Every structure is written in C-alpha cells, then in structure tokens.
Amino acid sequence: MISFSTIRDGVVALYIATTGHRAYTLIGDSGIAMYLGLERGMTMLVPHDDGWELEAKRMMGILWKIIPEAVDIQHIGSTAIRTIAAKPIIDIAVALDDVRSVYEHIDVMAGYGLIHRGSDVPGQILFIMGEGNMRTHHIHIVERDGAAWKNYVMFRDHLNLHPDKAAEYEKIKKRLSEAFPDNRRAYTEGKAGFIMQVLGEAGGHS
C-alpha cells in the first residue's frame, strides 16, 4: 500500500507499507528515506538510521517555530542513540516553564499533523504524528526543571558516551521485542530496571 500525507509546511511524506507493521518513508523531495513509522502498540526494532537525526532536526525546527516559548527542544529516545536498533518512531522532548502553555498553540499544532493525546505520563503532555494507525513521531511536552526532562537527556547522553551500555540496552530491547511483539506496555516495563540503573550511574533520578 502507498499513501501520501501532508504532514508539515506542505512537505509530503510517502508511506510505503512493508511487512512487520512498519513503514518506509520518503520525506518530500529531500531525498531522505528511512524506516519511519510503526503500527500503534507494536514493538518491532529496525537498525539505526542516520535519517532519523535529520528528520528530528527538521521536526525540531518546526516545533521552535510554533512553540516560541520553548526553553529547549531535544531529540531523545532510542532513535537518538547512535549505535542501537530502535522502534522507528522519533521521540522529541520540548521543555517549557509551564507545560500548560502548549495549549495556546494546539490549533496550529493540529495544522502540522500534531495530534493531542493528553497526559500519558503525569506532568507531561503527549502529541503524536502519523497516518491512520501508524505512528511516526512522539512529542513529549515536559517541565524544564522536571525529572523527566533531565532523565530523557541524561539517559541519551550516557548511552552515546558509553557504547558498551548502549549495546547492553539494545540486547534487552531485542529480547523484549521478540517476547512482546504487540504488547508495548510489557516491553516498556521490561526496560524500566535497566533505565533506572543507567540513570543512577549517570546521576539522574525518577
């Protein structure tokens, strides 16, 4: 199946569905093509793709434009860890002094394909992007001085600085993905212990 979706600034994403509930995506006429998009609830991993960083930078530029009071915006999650496989969904964290201020921009965000999903985690506000049941981006609105912001950035930086730890994390993720291919909750809970261990080593907190 091939479908077209205008997702931001007139840029058209071409989704080409493949096996395994994932999507291969070409972003407009940029020449950037990558695995980007996973069916909701699935945990399939794909090898790291440098295109994820380029697409994250593109999306962060748009977020700076539509949320001008943002204090910082960072590419987080496994697609931001350079050496490991990841679910092909880009996670971005937006730090605000008051997360509720994002609601001032909700109509504009909707125009860019950012769908409000409420507070999946206490103290955070989630927006998603994607076509139908496919998810391509998760945008996490968090407090600038909160534990979530610090932990997101600290975890990413620690694993990028310590490839041995990143490899250990990848091994855990692959085991969990194989055990729970369509159970994101169990997959996420299975990673929690290792994440807390890494944050303890890096000086983070929950």
With b meaning 16 or more CB within 10 Å and e meaning fewer, what string describes 94-116?
Answer: bbbeebeebeebeeebeebbbee
Q: Write down all domains in the chain, each with its CATH number in brackets.
A: 2-200 (3.30.460.10)
Q: Using the predicted structure, report yes or no on whether residue 155 has a pLDDT greater than 50.
A: yes
- Comparing 12-16, 50-54, 57-61, 190-194, the range with the smallest average pLDDT is 12-16
**Which pLDDT value is given to residue 143?**
96
- Comparing 102-116, 120-134, 154-168, 171-185, the range with the smallest average pLDDT is 120-134
pTM: 0.87
Q: Using the predicted structure, report yes or no on whether residue 12 has a pLDDT greater than 50.
A: no
3: Cα within 13 Å, side-chain hemisphere: 13
- Mean pLDDT, the chain, rounded, equals 86
Whether residue 26 contacts residue 37, with contact meaning beta carbons closer than 8 Å, is answered with no
**Which pLDDT value is given to residue 14?**
46
> How many Cβ atoms are within 10 Å of 44's Cβ, its own excluded?
18
Q: Average pLDDT for residues 129-141, to the nearest whole number? A: 90
If one compares 201 and 31, the residue with the highest pLDDT of the two is: 201
Q: Using the predicted structure, report yes or no on whether residue 6 has a pLDDT greater than 50.
A: no
Confidence of residue 8 (pLDDT cuts 50, 70, 90): very low
Q: Average pLDDT for residues 94-122, to the nearest whole number? A: 93
Q: Using the predicted structure, report yes or no on whether residue 120 has a pLDDT greater than 80.
A: no
Q: Average pLDDT for residues 26-45, to the nearest whole number? A: 75
